[in-house]
């Protein structure tokens, strides 16, 4: 975007883009790491544990919204079994 385009864009739209950018950065900040890696890294930088917690909470939120969490899968499977049985 050019500076002129930014100035012409409504504030609410710019705030939406900024919020989406923040969500994207949070959701991909810990890609490729697992809990063991975080444990090792947290020995030298304890603040990584809180970043990991925020990352996992957000990841669980979106997985639940998309129906990809284990509980949603179990509920869907139970519902399907009820319909068939």
* pLDDT, tens only, 20-46: 999 999 889 888 888 889 989 999 998
Q: How many domains does the chain have?
A: 1
The pLDDT assigned to 69 comes to: 66
Its pTM surpasses 0.85: no
Give the contacts of 47 (CB within 8 A, at least 6 positions apart).
none
Structural domain boundaries, residue 54: 3-84
What string of DSSP letters covers the chain? --HHHHHHS-HHHHHHHHHHHHHHHHHTTTTT--HHHHHHHHTT-THHHHHHHHHHHHHHHHHHHHT-SHHHHHHHHHHHHHHH-
Compute the mean pLDDT over every residue in the chain, rounded to the nearest whole number: 85
């Amino acid at each position: 975007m050019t500076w002129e385009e930014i100035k012409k864009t409504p504030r609410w739209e710019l705030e939406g883009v900024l919020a989406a950018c923040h969500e994207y950065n949070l959701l991909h900040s810990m890609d490729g790491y697992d809990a063991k890696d975080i444990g090792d890294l947290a020995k030298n930088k304890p603040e990584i544990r809180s970043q990991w917690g925020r990352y996992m909470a957000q990841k669980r939120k979106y997985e639940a919204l998309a129906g990809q969490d284990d509980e949603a899968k179990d509920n869907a499977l139970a519902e399907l079994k009820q319909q068939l049985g």
